[in-house]
Every structure is written in C-alpha cells, then in structure tokens.
Chain A
Amino acid sequence: MYKVLLCLRYLQTRWLAMVCIVSVMLGVATLIVVNSVMNGFSTKLRDRLHGLLSDIVIEAYDYDGFLDPKAKMAKIMADPYLAKNIEAMAPTLEIFAMLQYAYHDVPFTRSIRLIGIDPQSRAKVGGFTEFLTQPERKITPSFELTPEAKARQAKNHVLDRKPAYFQELPSDPSAPPPPDPPPSKPHEPQGLIIGHAIAHFRDRTQGSDGQVKDIRALEPGDDVIITTVSGQKMSPVVDRFAVADYFRSEMSEYDSMYVFVPLDHLQKLRTMEDRVTSILVRLKDFDEAPKVIKRLKEILKNEPVEVQTWEQKQGALLAAIRVEKGILNILLFMIIGVAGFGILAIFTMIVAEKTKDIGILKALGASRFGVMQIFLGYGLLLGLVGCLLGTAMGLAITHNINEIESIIGSITGQELFPRDIYYFDKIPTDVHPMGVFFVNIGAVLIAVLFSLIPAFRAASLNPVRALRYE
C-alpha cells in the first residue's frame, strides 16, 4: 500500500517528473498525429484509386487489345455466379498519345493517356461521372459540346485563328495567287473530356494570400490535336477534337494524364474494328472479389487477358505506402525511446535524491521487491499519465490539423502541405483506435522498461549507508 502512496506523492512533489510526462506525451502525440495522417492519406488514396479504377480489371496484355468485348461480356454474364455478383461492366480502349494545343498562339504539347469509353456504361462502373465538372454531365455523361462551347468553337473558326505553327510558309510573291479553297463543309470536331491539370496552369505568383490559382488554358470548345498510333501497324494517326468538359479527380496523376474520347471514335481513328484493351468490372460487393476473379480466370483462361483487382494493379504504390508507414513508426518510436532515456536520467536522479527514504523504508521492513515496485510503479504512472495527455493532445491536433497547418503556414509563410504535390486539397486524417491503443501500450512499456534500471538500483541500496547521515 505504501508503494501506491509514495508513487502518488512523488508524482505530486517532483516537478522533474513533469518533464518525463511531457516527453512521453509529446512522443505519443506525435505518433498518433503522424499515424492518423498517414492512415488518412492511405485510406483516401485507396478510396481515390479504387474510385478511379473499378473493382476488377480484365486487361489485354498489349496495346492491340482483344476483339469483340460484347461477346466476352455476354459470356461472363452467362455464368450464374458472376451474373449475380457483377453490377456493371465497361469496355475501354487505352493508348498513349500526344496532345497539342495553342495557348495565346504558343504551342503546347503533352503526353497523355487516351481512353476510349462508352460514357453510359463507363458511368455505371463508377469513378467517372462524379469527377466531371459540368453539373448536367454528371447526370447524363456524354461528349456533346454545350451550346456555349459550340459557340466558342464556331467563333474560333470564323476568325480562323489558326495557331501560328499551323500557318503556311510565306508564299512566293511572284507566284500566281492560290485558288480559293473550295467551301468546305463545316467540320464538327468530336468532343472530349480532358484531365483538369492538362487544361490548366498553376500560377503561384498571383495573390498575396498564398493561394495558388489555376489559369485555364483550354476553354470548353477549344481545339486540341491528338496524335496516336493506329492498330497493328502502329502508324501515326491524327485528329482534331474540341474540349467538352474536364475530369477532375484531385489525383494529380490522373488529372494530368487522362483524356477521354468516345470508344467507337477512337476505334475508328485507330482502325481497329471492335477491339478494346480492357473491360472494367464493378462488383455488387467487393468482398466477393477473390471468388469472382477465380471464376473469371476460369472462364477467360484461353484469352490473352489478365484479371486483377484494383489493389493488385496498384500493388506497388500501396506497398510503398505500407513500407513508408512502417519505417516512420520505427523512427517515431525512437522519439519515445528518447523520452525513455529522459525517464532513465530523471529516475536515476530521483533515486539518488531518495536514498534516505529508501533506507528508511528498508529499515521499516520494506522488501527489495517492494522498493523496486515503488519506482516501477512510478514509471508506470508517469507513462500512463503521459500517454493519457499525449493521446488527448494527439487526437486534438489530428482533429484540427488543417487549421493548425494554415496557422503555421501563415506565420512562416511556408506552405506545409503543398496541395499540388499531394493528391488532396485537405490533409486527410484517419484515427485507428487499435493503432492508438498500441502506441499507448508501447509507450507505457518503454516507460516501465527504462525505470527498471533505477528501480533495481534503488532496491539494492544498502540501508545503513542511507541512514547514517542526515
């Protein structure tokens, strides 16, 4: 009983103990905040990736794709188990391509991923319509230009403002004037949906408030030229498109790469009949994925296709996040280790200071183990109090992390969380109760472990030495 009493009294009267508590507290708080942000980051990233990637992807081994996706889908739906579990499927044709446009008569060229889709079926698979920017298109996805876009398209061509690099060489003045071109039938370009980051520049110089602004380089209705390769022969093919809408998923990797065009248009352009490179599959319940994959593989075993879940497709990125989190945790536990050394130092001091008390306790019949328990209990108590405060602090910081970030950002003038480097416009957080629990257990263990040595020393003190002098 005296052990508990003394622990509490030592806690109340030693302000040095506060230092231990604070160091444990800071360690625990840091671990909780960092883990929550990392979890938030990976959860959000997974959600985003999953949202963009459909549950399962049936993918051809090469760019040439495979023939007749309709027949394949029919074959898949003929299976009762699959028919029961598959919510929707969408054939897509993906190919690398080059996109060119002119902004203020300056040519820009981007490398992109050109994706041919059927908007209706693609919408059913998910991860598409919700990222379109025009509200009406979110309801009925299409590649149609809006009337305003059409007007702009017409205006661009009435003025015939060809980009400078399309202008013909200055003609020989001595040559006879070229004949008037025949009045061409106004060519309506195909609409496309372009990744937000392709169509916008980010401007950092503007605005003293540190806000970054997006400058739109391509308005709806503006022309873009896309160059890609035809089917088997791989010869270049070119077409002119007009921007119909933007795709903005906040995943910069996607927003800066993806350009969507109608599937049939792309098939025609690439002269590849009814070929597609992949079929996206959405399940009713993602937990069924392993079984569905197994079944799909059986059905498609003679086809040159690979069947993967979105997780398998993004395996490298997800694994990288996991590894990063593991390493961070090890490093951060070292912070608590440092707190542990603080406890060691301070406890050693307290034991030295309490030599007399230890002698008295022993004279009064306290056992070695009893004396040891006082200091172990003390360590436990410091650890517990530190953990409690640290958890409270960590959760509070996690909860208000965006506000804190903006305050620190405005004080230092340095953006802590550059929105365009990361995939998110807010710092995502996700508190895992189990994680918090383990952090606490770990911290308490470290506190007790580091108080073991001083406690042992206290227990082996010779009482006479302590009692002889004042």
Chain B
Amino acid sequence: MAEAAPLVRTEGLTKTYGDHVTTTVLKGIDLVLEPGELCALTGPSGSGKTTLLNLIGLLDRPTGGRLLIQGLDARTLDDDARTTLRGRTLGFVFQFHHLLPAFSAEENVMIPLFAQHGRPQAWMHERARALLAAVGLAERMGYRATDLSGGEQQRVAIARALVMEPPLVLADEPTGNLDTQTGAQVLELLRSFNRELGTAFVIVTHDEAVAERCDRIVHMVDGRVDSDTRVSERALILEK
C-alpha cells in the first residue's frame, strides 16, 4: 500500500558516470524519507549530493540498487510514467536558472499545473496567485522572471515547487546564491510550508546555519552517507 510505504526508500543506490573512464559517484546509498520530514543534505563538494537529488527526483536513472517512490519501483516506470509521477509527487528548487525567462512570475508558477493538462485556466491562475501571495510576491505577479531579484526569483521557484502540493520538495542549494539575510528568509519560507502543509523537504546546503534549522541532517562523504542525525539526537550528543 502506498500510504504504508515511506515517501522515498533507496536500497544500495549507486551511480556511475562515463563509458570508458568511469567514476562511481554514489557508492550505495540506503536512505528512507518519511512524509513531512525537513531534511538537510550536506557534504563536501563532489560528494554526490546533486547526483542523489537527481536520482530521487527521477531526472536521472541509477546504475544499481533500488529506488522506491511512495512504494513504486522507479525502474519499472517508463519515461511518461516517471514524468507523471515527478509532476504529481515532486517539486524542485534549483540553485541557478530556476525560472523560464520568457514567462511572468505567475506563468512560471502555473507551468506544473498546465503541464498536467485539462485543468481549468481560471483555477490555475487562482492557485498560482495564492502561492505567490504566500511567498510574499502578490505585487510581482506580472513581472517577467528576468525582472525579479535573485531572492524574488527563488521565492517564485518555491511557489512553483509547491503549486502541485507535492508530498516532497527537492531543493538544491536554494540559498546558496543569496545573501545571508535573503537566504534566511527563503529558508523560513520552506520551514513554514513544512509546518503548515506537511510537505517533506530535502535541502542540499553548504551552510551550517541552514542545516541547523532542519529536523534531520544527512551528511555525505565521497558517495556514501557518512552520518544521519535527527536534531533531537544531536541535542543529546551536544549535551554530553
């Protein structure tokens, strides 16, 4: 049953790049993500964080191991089924080039709804506006993506990631490109959606302060999970 299954389960997930000279980037990841979790993914550059996120996000295919999304084995799905599952279950926030430059903020947020086809136009506009208002951009709806500041763009991207109300949002360094204060605001936004909608988040970050504000920190080193701690446990460790 899908309800009984965790949001994401990986078993010995591996990823190898290259045909002649091969690099094994992920060397067996076992990870379980539960609904509503706010999880930070940290680790040195090149440790495989983005690669893992792309696999979980069904943007890329693993070399070995198993990946289950809501109990569905990703290997059994064809491209269309993966796209549909991705559209309904997953939201993305990327570090760079998050938005479609030719479209307005509102249209960017509408894209995931629109791509599903068959939803009434008025309803899609309403949804997009509601989310833009929730990220504090009610005044910027008609702006072209390129006319927005970096922080505003990132907030539009968050609204877009959430417009389908997916159970899981994958964010790759969502604050990496922003100044500390704007970064903090964006993180607060993610936290509030996590609290209010129960959306689970995986946030890749290099920022210690950002990781600290999450419920769980998965630390990767060289393609492996080095440590996986919950904040409650960390508090205990610190106390010792």
A binds B: no
Contact residues of B with A, CB < 8 Å?
Answer: none
Contact residues of A with B, CB < 8 Å?
Answer: none
